[in-house]
Structure formats: C-alpha cells, structure tokens
Amino acid sequence: AQSVTQLDSQVPVFEEAPVELRCNYSSSVSVYLFWYVQYPNQGLQLLLKYLSGSTLVKGINGFEAEFNKSQTSFHLRKPSVHISDTAEYFCAVSDLTNTGNQFYFGTGTSLTVIP
C-alpha cells in the first residue's frame, strides 16, 4: 500500500522568508506525486505535480518541489512567501493502475505567514 507522511503539521514563517514543507512517501509502484493547497472552506487546488522527467518541478505561485527517489521525498519550497500563501498544504501520491486511480494524502501542513 502507498502512504504519505508530512512531517510538520504546522509551519509558521515570516513574510518574505523562504519555506520548505516536507513530504515523504512510500510506494511500491510507479510514483506520481502531487502537492495541493486548500484555502479555508475551499476545495483542493493543484500546485504542482511530478509524473516523470526532471526531478525539479515548478508550479503555480512561485512554488517548486524536488523529487528524490533515494530519499523517497518530495519537499515543497518557496523562496519568499506572501501573506496570501497562508493555507493548508497536502502532499499526495497517486496509485494509478489498470483498474483506476486513487490518491493517498498526507495529513496536511498548515502554513501560517506572519506579517
């Protein structure tokens, strides 16, 4: 079975400072990794994805993530955060098979940007 561990449940950071949200996964099959962001009372918005190819992937709003197969990690980074980045962030691994697809999500990291 696949699983995702987000090591930090809450991350406070000052505005314009860099941030890293950590994600480790466990998967026995081909790896498809995602980061989603959720604002209060909203659904999930796709930030970025790793399907194949370059291990450094860039997403929306200045976020990027690096797929590290040897460390089974997919950490999310942003060099300078804004107040508007305050939200819940979810790392997910996709279990795509011939019978369908299922996401396994981490427990989420609450990012709070402090003015």
Residue ranges that bind other proteins, judged by CB under 8 A: 32, 34, 36, 41-46, 49, 51, 90, 92, 94, 96, 99-108
Q: CB-wise, 30 or 80, nearer to other proteins?
A: 30
The residue among 46 and 114 lying less far from other proteins, judged by its C-beta, is 46
Q: What angle do CA 3, 90, 82 make, to 5 degrees?
A: 150
Looking only at the bridges linking them, the beta strands covering 44-50 and 109-114 are unpaired
H-helix or E-strand spanning residue 77 = strand 73-78
Q: Which residue's CB is nearer to other proteins, number 4 or number 13?
A: 4
Closest contact distance (angstroms) between CB of 82 and other proteins is: 23
Q: How many CB atoms lie within 10 A of CB 65?
A: 27
Place of tokens 């940007």: 113
Least CB distance to other proteins at residue 114 (A): 24
